Amino acid sequence: MGSLILSLVHSLLWSLLFLVLIPFTLIKPSLSERVLCILTGILLIFLGLILFLLSVWELSRAGGTTTVLKRAKRLVKGGVYSCSRNPIYVAVILISLGESLTFCSSAFLGYTFLLTLGLHLWVILFEEPMLRRIYGDEFEDYSKEVPRWVAFPDIVTCLGRRRRNRSSQLSPLS
């Protein structure tokens, strides 16, 4: 339970900084925002929040961690992590994109692009090499099976594939 609380607090503090404080210093919403833009943005924010909470929950429940300051008990590969190796970052990008659409802000969209680029560089230059050192072949196999971000045709089938894999492991006839 302490790990879950630490993960949530850590994630919420960084999210507050990168999804609220920095972005809201960049925008000044106009009154002429389009309804479709706003509704699409709200939908993306909602989906991003759900994905974020599911990701942190799965990570904490399975012995992972949201901070590089604390070593995870094991490599988390289940739940939303069977569809994306970085679902928390995907959620953060969805929320930021949703905010840029909600406020119809090109400055915010530029911020979302820079945020996405920064997260991508962080993952390929720091996180993945660290995970390769810690988990070796286990991470290599995982990275071959699960996309770094999201493979859109697979997002529809990844949970079904995971269920099939799980049921084939349980069935002695498979």
Q: Tell me the pTM.
A: 0.72
Helix, coil or strand: residue 70: coil
Lowest mean pLDDT: which of 16-25, 123-132, 146-155? 16-25
- Residues of the chain above pLDDT 70, percent: 67
Domain 34-168 has CATH 1.20.120.1630: yes
Helix, coil or strand: residue 106: helix
- What secondary structure does DSSP assign to 16-69, as a single string? IIIIIIHHHHH----TT--HHHHHHHHHHHHHHHHHHHHHHHHHHHTT--S-TT
Question: Over 60: is that where the pLDDT of 7 sits?
Answer: yes
Mean pLDDT of the chain: 78
**So where are the chain's domains?**
34-168
Please provide the distance, in angstroms rounded to a whole number, between the alpha carbons at the two ends of the chain.
37
Are 14 and 59 in contact by the 8 Å Cβ rule? The answer is no
Q: Which of 93, 12, 82 shows the shortest CA–CA distance to 47?
A: 93
